[in-house]
Structures are given as structure tokens and as C-alpha cells.
Structure 1
Amino acid sequence: MQAALPNSRRHDIDALRAIAFAALILYHWGMLYVGGEDWGWHLKSSYTTEAIQLPMLAMNRWRMDLIFLISGLSVHFLLRDTRIARFIALRSWRLLLPLVFGMWVVVPIQPYAEGVSNGLVQPGFFAFLVRYYGHTTWPAGAFAGWEHGFTWNHLWYLAYLWTYTCVFALLLPLLKRLPNPLARLRGLHLLVWPAVPLMIATLLLQPHFKDTGDLVHDWYRHAMYFTVFLYGWWLGTLDGVWNELAGLRRRALTGAIALFGFYIACATLLPEPIADAMQSVIWILRNLYVWWMLCAILGYARTYLNRPFRWLPYATEAVYPWYMLHQSLIIAIAFAIVPMHLGPIVEPALVLLGTVAGCALLHAIIRRSNLLRPLFGMKRRQASAASMSFASDSGVSVGA
């Protein structure tokens, strides 16, 4: 397989970003229907099933790691042509403006639907907004983030990515002087050594920091996500490592599937509570599973996705607005139709189709408005660009 030229566009990274966020939409749709005590969400259908727990769990372990790794990759390519001060300014504009706008305009339907479904918020969306914008004190457990009076829900990724971007900028002079830890890894070394920091972070931090979404105190997830963010930046244009990932893709995928099977067997067969030593072994193998899945995904993407697909320019532009809109649409549609009891086939189909149609329609409106585009993380269009293809705006998306 021919290595990509240093300045050529990496279509596989663009495609992988679009696919990763499409998978995120499907995952959040699945959260509406997956059953079990450990699978609570903002809203739940009456047609939940435990049958989809395994695929949901398999994706849950690496989905955000993949997204943050892609974010680090995007930073690598952006910094080739942008000075660090301008990079920080652009990233702040492209991340914080959509975050603030999303929290106050896109997200509120989610805590409203959750609060009404919990019986802790009175029906009436306008009255809810008056209280929501007024920083009202809410009943305990009314919705995710009730203790703060407002929530960013799924937009937490933007806040975390902006934070990592700032920390990365501060560390960049040091990082540039250090050797790239991934550059010479090949074979088994590439499949094992990058997983070790993830294992250490899990063993040291997970027992003490739960996944609360609290940016200030979320040190376990920070250690995990910032590490894979750095892996993405280090990978960059290391063609030798990328070619090695392509060559290892089958072994990585086979090993990941075997590890996941062992992980499920342990979770199913071992008695509760699990001994500390066995819990540590499970956590170590879980992180190896995550890294092997990432290696497999990157390897298959390098092999099959590094080409200019016709759908890619549209998908690259659509990633950010679809990401911002999708969860609010899922919850709004479900909130309206779940009480209708349409059945376990019709209801999920309507929620998914409605979400996709809603994202497509709203994106079509947003992309034509220079007022709306920055609010959804998209660059303004120049007046002369009206007749240009979607590709003119495909340089930076939510993963960047």
C-alpha cells in the first residue's frame, strides 16, 4: 500500500471522523432502548431490551477514546499551517461558541423531557425555559445537571476538547523537544506499549473518580481521553506506523474480539464482589481491548477509506451540526411518541428516521446561513463561495 504524501489530504481520517460520529448517533438512539439497571438515560422507552447490551457495551468501551484520538489527529494537521496563538483563538471560537449556544438553545428540550418524565418538572416547555434561564433551583434528580440549574448533556465533549486543546498548547514546546513515543513501535510493541498508560490510569484513578461529567473533578476520564488525544497528535503523518496499523488490523481485531469475550465471561461467571486482584486483571484486559480496537479501526480505515468518496465532503461538513442536534432530536421525538405505545418496531424506527431527517433538514438550513453557521461550529461562507462544492468547508469539523 502506497504511503500518503506529506501534504496530501487524509481522506481516511475525514471518513473515520464522520463514521465515528454516526456511530455516536446510533449509540445514543440505542440508549433509549437498552434495558438493565446500569443503562439509565435521560429518557427510556417502554420497549427496552437487554438483548442489545453486548453490542452497546462493546462500543461503549472505546467510542469516546476513538473520537478524542481523531481530535488529536486533526490538531496535528491543523498545526502544520497555523501558528499556535491563532490555533487557540480559532479553536476557542469553534468550540466555545457552539457550546454556549447549544447549552442555551439546543439542549434545554433534554432536561425538560427528562424532568417531566421523572415527574419532577411540571409540563409546559415555555414555563420550564423561564425557570431554566433564571437559574432556578430544581428538585433533586430532576434531570442530569439539576444541581447546577442547567446542563450541557452530550455537548460535554466540546468543553473537554477545548480544555485539552489549551493544555496541549501549553505543553507543545515540551512535546516538540521530546521523541515521538510511537514512531518506532512495530508489531507486538505497537499493540501493547500504548495500552500501558491507559492501564495505569485505570488502576490508579478509576477507583477514586466516577464518570460524573464534572469537568473539574473528572480526573480518570481526563487521563484516558487526554492520553489518546496525544496519541492522535503523535500519529499524525507517521506513515510507517500507519502502514504497520494496516498490516496489524486483522490480528488487532481478532485479539480485541477474544478479549471482549473473556471480559464478558468474567462479568457473567465471577461471583460478586470480585476480588481486588481479579478486578485489576479485568481492568488491564479491558484497556488492552480498547487499544486493540482502536488499532483495528485505524488500520482498516487506512486500508479502505483513504480515497475521495463522493459522500465525504457532505459528511465532513455535516458532522458538527449533526452532532449538536442529534440527541435533542432523539429525546424530543421519543418524548412525543413513547406515550403512544406504537410497538417495539414502529417506535424505534420512527425515532431513528425522525432524528436523521431532522438533522438533515436543519443542517440544510444552517449551512445556508452565515448567521447560523458559526453557532454550529461551521466556518462562514464567502459570498463568492455560493457555487462551490461542499468540500470548500471540509477542512475542520467537530473532531478538529
Structure 2
Amino acid sequence: MSASTDAAPASERLHALDALRGIALLLGIVLHAAMSFVPIAPRIWLIQDTHPSLLLGLLTFTIHVFRMTTFFLMAGFFAHMSFHRRGSMGFVKDRLQRIALPLVIGWPLVYVPIALIVIWAANFPNGGPPHGAFGWMPPLPNFRLTHLWFLYVLLELYVAILLLRGAIVWLDASGTLRTLIDRLFARIIRNPLAPLVLAIPICIAFCLDPRWGHSMEVRTPDQSLITNAQAWICFGAAFGVGWLLHRQVDLLRLIERRWLPHLVLAVGLILICFVLAGVMLSAPGAPKLPYSFATLRLVSAILYAPAIWITTFAAIGLALRFMSGFSPAWRYLADASYWLYLIHLPIVMALQVALSQLDWPGLIKFAVILVVALPPMLASYHLLVRFTFIGAVLNGRRAEKRVLPHGGIATA
């Protein structure tokens, strides 16, 4: 099977998915801005605000469920599109420019101010390096990739998919195996239980990790150059699903039609998992619970893994249903989102430390962080990036020449 030849609808869907990829990055800024308000012990962020918020805790939990899976699915989708437009060598050159170069140059530029801000936060009783954090320059393979870990994992996935594709093409000269893979994938996606099928590998990974359950999430490889199994399974599977989806673009119509049941199920599962996460965190101090921690952990894994995929499908369906068609505003934000995400963390962290001791409600301080941080970051994009060589590096070509599907960071 090949990608759809229905050019106009495909173009409309590309606008929606490009916007969704940008939203996934922008939600990362929202997530990090809320982290200091999460009411959890031991502290998991550089500082814990004096006015924690259960509502912001739910917000961070919800974003954690689907954001990176959605992002990596979009990355796989647009990677397949870019690969077949540019060819192998063009694809590799493009990825080195737009992914590897920002990682190599950007890491020291954000790590140094982050380190200084953490030292500043340590002057407060509720601040400093989080519990269990490595030293400033831990021995290899431990390495603080910070929030740029997603670029590192993207590079790994690009290498993996190129090697896998090369092996399949070499072994499958007739194309029979690729046809069978496309048919099997289409059968899975057409089944209403597709999110449950896709959830099986990550559910098994959760169950096999004795540390999972103390923190209900996919463990991100932000502290090591060796990507952990959970990240490989969850984000690698999402990347592969995106790659295969672009081979059969019409399957997106099924995901779009199911947006409402996926959304209802996602909301229910997220709320149940949020409650279970709170119960498990309190389990050591609550010996009279009718169920053991192991039982709670198993139930949580069985529910959380499908929640990841159902919520991801809900996000894609919502984007396709309500964001198809070209929007200058969404296109601008999609282009800007990469730069904003690269630079946001030191700015957000500094504001969190500065506001942490004020006697204001947590929601007010959270809003202040976003209102103060976002305008100068957007201004920096417009003045320093959008029409300069930096924008050409990050987004592929200069803004005034970009038209979907050729331009934009979508192919990242």
C-alpha cells in the first residue's frame, strides 16, 4: 500500500498534524511551568512552591500521559514524508542540521544557566537538586541531557529506522513483506481496540520495572546517554506508528471519526490513574489499605498503558476534526514552538524560584510565570530566529519561503 493520492484532504490533514506537533512542544512549556506546584514528596523539581496546587498536579499528570507519545508519533509521520521526498542522504543531512546541531550547540547554552538557577534555588529550604539527582557532571554514561533528551532520542530513532528499513528492503526485494506489514498495521488501526493492542508492550515494560509505580509515567532518558527500555518501547513504538501511518494516510480518517469516544475514555482513565497514583504514593504510610502495593501497581500499569494510547489517539482525532485547514496563527506557533521549547527551561525555572516564596495562590503564580515568560520568548523568535539563519537551521528554510508540506519544523 502506498500513501494516499488524495492531495487536497492530505494537505488539510498535514496542517492539523503540524499544529498538533507544535502544541505538543508548547504543552512542554506549560508542564515545566507547573512542576514547582506539584504537591508531591519527595520533591521532584528544583524547587517546590510554598503554595502547591492539586489542580496543577492533575494538569502535569495529564500532559505527561500523552504529550511525548503524540510528539514522537508526529515525528515518525513527518520523518517518513521527509525520507521519501529527500532520499536517504538528503534525509540524513537534514536531520543532522535540524536535530543534531541544535542538540550539540543548544545543550551547553541551556545547561549552564539551569545549573546556576539550581544553585540559587538551593538557598531556599524547599529548593536545590531534586532527591536522587546525579552530581553536576556525573560519570558517563550518566549525562544530564535536560529537556533536550528528546533530540537525542530522535537521533537514535532515525538511525534505528534507517537500519531497519535498509534490512527490510534488502531482504524483501519483491515488496511482499512490506505489503504484509501494511495490511497488518491497517487491520490493527481499523479495529476499535487498536489503542489496547498498542499498549501491550509498554504495559509489560511497566510491570517488569520494579521502580515503576512510585512515579506513574514513562521514564524519560534525561539523565543518561543510554536510553531506557520504557522510552525505547513507548516512544519507539509511537515513532513507528507514525512512520507506518504516513504510508497509509487514509487511516487518519478512522482516528478522526473516533475522536469523541477516545476523548471520553481518555478523561476517565486519566482521572482514575491520577487517583491511583495518589493512593500508591500514600501507600507506605497507610498500612491498612485493603490492597497491597503490588496489586495497586499492577492495576495502574494495566490502566495507564492504554491511557497513553487512547489519549494520543484522542489528541490526533481532535486536531484532525477541528484544526484542519490552514491557519496563519497556528502555523506561526508551530514554526515558533521548536525555538520556544529549546530556550524556555532556564527562563521558567528562574521565575519559579523568584516567585516560590511569595504568599500568592499557586494558580496565580503559575499564570504569572507563563504571562511573563512567553512574550519575550516569542519576541526573540520573531526578531532573532524567524527570518535569520537560525530559523533556516531549525525550520528547514526561511519563513518567507515556507509553504506546507515542504517547510516548517513538522518534519522534525
Does TM, normalized by the shorter one, top 0.5? yes
Structure 2 residue identity aligned to 1:257:
V
Q: Is the 8 A contact 2:53 2:362 kept in 1?
A: no
1:12-27 map, 5 Å: 12-27=16-31
**Equivalent residue number for residue 164 of structure 1:** 157
**Equivalent residue number for residue 73 of structure 1:** 77
SS for the counterpart of 2:371 is helix
Equivalent of residue 41 in structure 2, options 14, 37, 45 = 37
Aligned equivalents of 2:227, 2:85: Cα separation in 1: 34
Q: Does 2:186 align with 1:183?
A: yes
Report the alpha carbon displacement of residue 6 of structure 1 after superposing the two structures with TM.
4.6
Aligned equivalents of 1:166, 1:316: Cα separation in 2: 25
Aligned equivalents of 1:249, 1:28: Cα separation in 2: 27
**Equivalent residue number for residue 239 of structure 2:** 229
CA separation of 1:371 and 1:34: change in aligned 2, threshold 3 A: same
Report the alpha carbon displacement of residue 12 of structure 1 after superposing the two structures with TM.
1.0
Report the alpha carbon displacement of residue 311 of structure 1 after superposing the two structures with TM.
1.1
TM-score norm. by structure 2 comes to 0.80
Task: Answer with 354-363 or 196-205: which moved more.
Answer: 196-205
Over the matched positions of the two proteins, sequence identity in percent amounts to: 21
Aligned equivalents of 1:106, 1:174: Cα separation in 2: 38
CA separation of 1:354 and 1:267: change in aligned 2, threshold 3 A: closer
Aligned equivalents of 2:52, 2:279: Cα separation in 1: 24
**Cα deviation code 1:233-266 (max 9, x no counterpart):** 1111524421111222211222222223333444
**Equivalent residue number for residue 379 of structure 1:** 396
**Equivalent residue number for residue 283 of structure 2:** 272
Q: Does 2:400 align with 1:397?
A: no
Aligned equivalents of 1:14, 1:326: Cα separation in 2: 20
CA separation of 1:346 and 1:272: change in aligned 2, threshold 3 A: closer
TM-score norm. by structure 1 comes to 0.82
SS for the counterpart of 2:409 is coil
Aligned equivalents of 2:405, 2:41: Cα separation in 1: 43
Equivalent of residue 323 in structure 1, options 319, 341, 366 = 341
CA separation of 1:33 and 1:144: change in aligned 2, threshold 3 A: farther
Unaligned ranges ≥5, structure 2? 170-176, 213-217, 285-291
Aligned equivalents of 2:157, 2:106: Cα separation in 1: 20
**Equivalent residue number for residue 147 of structure 2:** 154
**Cα deviation code 1:304-360 (max 9, x no counterpart):** 212111213312321211111111221233344546666646543332112111211
Q: Does 2:306 align with 1:313?
A: no
CA separation of 1:239 and 1:159: change in aligned 2, threshold 3 A: closer
Structure 2 residue identity aligned to 1:58:
T
**Cα deviation code 1:138-173 (max 9, x no counterpart):** x99897661338743111111111111111111113
Q: Is the 8 A contact 2:38 2:56 kept in 1?
A: yes
Aligned equivalents of 1:168, 1:206: Cα separation in 2: 29
Structure 1 residue identity aligned to 2:55:
A
Structure scoring higher RCO (CA < 8 A, sep ≥ 6) equals: 2
1:1-400 map, 5 Å: 5-6=6-7, 8-9=10-11, 10-37=14-41, 40-119=44-123, 146-148=136-138, 151-174=144-167, 177-178=177-178, 179-180=181-182, 181-185=184-188, 186-205=190-209, 207=211, 211=220, 213=222, 214-268=224-278, 272=283, 274-338=292-356, 344=362, 347-367=365-385, 370-373=388-391, 377-381=394-398, 388=400, 391=403, 395-397=407-409, 400=412
Structure 2 residue identity aligned to 1:296:
A
Task: Answer with 192-201 or 281-290: which moved more.
Answer: 192-201
SS for the counterpart of 2:317 is helix
CA separation of 1:215 and 1:47: change in aligned 2, threshold 3 A: same
CA separation of 1:206 and 1:80: change in aligned 2, threshold 3 A: farther
Alignment length (residue pairs): 374
SS for the counterpart of 2:338 is helix
Unaligned ranges ≥5, structure 1? 121-138
Higher helix share: 2
Q: Is the 8 A contact 1:35 1:49 kept in 2?
A: yes
Aligned equivalents of 1:104, 1:64: Cα separation in 2: 23
Aligned equivalents of 1:337, 1:276: Cα separation in 2: 39
Report the alpha carbon displacement of residue 75 of structure 1 after superposing the two structures with TM.
0.6
Q: Is the 8 A contact 2:198 2:309 kept in 1?
A: yes
Structure 2 residue identity aligned to 1:378:
N
Report the alpha carbon displacement of residue 51 of structure 1 after superposing the two structures with TM.
3.5
